[in-house]
Structure 1
Amino acid sequence: MTSARFLVVLDADSTLIRNEVIELIADEAGRRAEVQAATEAAMRGEIDFATSLRSRVAALEGVPVSGFARVLARIEPTPGVRELTSAVHARGGVVGVVSGGFHEILDDVAPGLGVDRWRANRLDVVDGALSGRVDGAIVDAEAKAASLREWADELGIPHRATIAIGDGANDLRMMAAAGLGLAFNAKPAVREAASVVIGPQDLSEVIALLP
């Protein structure tokens, strides 16, 4: 049994990092505008996330996996993210990320940002290129909330000692499941539902709220 004191779980796109990864991958297919509009509608909660994700991933069909290197080179960590994860660890906490984005990118990015565990979607690949399908179950709003609860239980951390940080409608259930839900760089509906709203796009602002 771990001796972790608390758990902080972040969304990835526009929270842990400044980018929306699916839009960067869409650039590789020349379809960014189409995918960006669908992403924004999903984050506002106007359309079902899983349905939206499937349609956006379909637009990525044919992108070679070699394009992931160019995507990774464009990833920008959110200001203050390393300071936050260092502060969580210094106080005996654990950092998790649960994302509607993709393991193909997060597996490279998360360790260097001080993330201890993460969960995301996987992209189906056929003959070295994206098939336009998601491989396996989609990480949606309920999966995000379930991940926070499961990780807390595995770590022996009371749910009241969890913090969830997100920006979109897909994060609302996770934020509701946490002891403290923080809206970061968030859409209006998320700011309204959050326990606390972080205004500046700097994750080090969260440090003052850590137990």
Structure 2
Amino acid sequence: MFVLNVIGKGAAPDIFRGLDNGPATILSPGHAFDLPVANEVAALTEARERAQDFGLDINLVSTVKRRKKLLLSDMDSTIINVECLDELADMAGLKPQIAAITERAMRGELEFEAALTERVGLLKGLKLDALERTYAERVRLNPGAKSLIATMRAHGAHTMLVSGGFGYFTQRVAEAAGFHTERGNTLLDDGTHLTGEVSTPILGREAKVKALEEAVEALKIEFAETLAVGDGANDLAMIQKAGLGVAYHAKPVVAAAADVAIQHNDLTALLYLQGYSDSEIVRSD
């Protein structure tokens, strides 16, 4: 069974009168609810047309094994507010050049591993203190990140941060947000400066899928019990593999291919997608 899940300021079941096949379940008054519908695909299309000017996230969500036992999340522009590599580039005075490559890679126009190698190469000679300054001055958790992790952990889920970014940042972000575990790439250095190299194998699109598969096996759960979220092309494979794959404020190629997309709301939306109500959410942000 599927329900129409609606999230956003001013969300009200009355907007969708005539599409419903039963009473709405209110998850957050004036903000989030589930609506049972009869003709699911047609109802989703009609609901999005009705609400196109309302800034609402509207998705069809399965009610089977709805609350997930595993969260696998991207880091840059998903859990945090920036692309760390672009901010490091800013420290080196190369942000426009490197950010342009990042944008093309995230849109799926460039192969991720090659694009990462090229960008890291441009950072050769950057002092290591740029990492600390980037984290301290630029990196912030996105709204809802702590509440998402705290709530899922409180209900027994395992949480993993898996990034094509760098371990220096994934370690710190995972700790700040409350993830159980993290994985990222390793920038190589000579003790004082970056060498312009990244350790291999590079954690990219396929490595994220592998992380999901390994976690499913280790936890002895089904893929239907997993949630994967990200914004870039290198996240798409894990998003499509997971039971609930979410494109979060994502590039168009990702949003178009994912079953579920969040474009207007913060990370607590991932809890409403799983049917959590306000009374069950551990507010930690």
If the length of structure 1 is used for normalisation, what is the TM-score? 0.95
- 1:80-134, Cα deviation, whole Å (9 max, x unpaired): 0011011101211111111110001111121120111111100011131100010
Distance across 1 between alignment mates of 2:206 and 2:102: 18
Give the unaligned 5+ runs of structure 2. 1-67, 276-285
Correspondence 1:76-155 to 2 at 5 A: 76-155=140-219
AA aligned opposite 2:172: D
- 1:30-84, Cα deviation, whole Å (9 max, x unpaired): 1111110000000000010001000000011111111111111120111100110
Tell me, yes or no, if the aligned pair for 1:8 and 1:95 is still in contact at 8 Å. yes
Distance across 1 between alignment mates of 2:251 and 2:130: 30
Question: Is 1:65 aligned to residue 128 of structure 2?
Answer: yes
Tell me, yes or no, if the aligned pair for 2:74 and 2:161 is still in contact at 8 Å. yes
Same amino acid, percent of matched pairs: 39
Distance across 2 between alignment mates of 1:161 and 1:183: 17
Distance across 2 between alignment mates of 1:127 and 1:89: 37
**Residue 52 of structure 1: aligned partner:** 115
**Which stretches of structure 1, 4 residues or longer, exceed 3 Å deviation after superposition?**
none
Larger helix percent: 1
**Residue 37 of structure 1: aligned partner:** 100
- 1:141-176, Cα deviation, whole Å (9 max, x unpaired): 000111011112112221110010010110011111
Distance across 2 between alignment mates of 1:123 and 1:201: 33
- Choose which of 154, 158, 162 in structure 1 pairs with 2:226: 162
Larger Rg: 2
**Residue 25 of structure 1: aligned partner:** 88
Tell me, yes or no, if the aligned pair for 2:105 and 2:233 is still in contact at 8 Å. yes
Aligned CA-pair RMSD: 1.2
Higher RCO (CA 8 Å, separation ≥ 6 residues): 1
Distance across 1 between alignment mates of 2:120 and 2:172: 20
AA aligned opposite 1:15: T
- Choose which of 243, 251, 265 in structure 2 pairs with 1:187: 251
Distance across 2 between alignment mates of 1:37 and 1:201: 26
Tell me, yes or no, if the aligned pair for 1:88 and 1:210 is still in contact at 8 Å. no
Give the unaligned 5+ runs of structure 1. none
Secondary structure of 2:268 counterpart: helix
Give, in angstroms, the shift of residue 210 of structure 1.
2.6
**Alignment size in residue pairs:** 207
Secondary structure of 1:203 counterpart: coil
Distance across 1 between alignment mates of 2:240 and 2:100: 27
**Residue 196 of structure 1: aligned partner:** 260
Distance across 2 between alignment mates of 1:107 and 1:114: 11
Tell me, yes or no, if the aligned pair for 1:166 and 1:175 is still in contact at 8 Å. yes
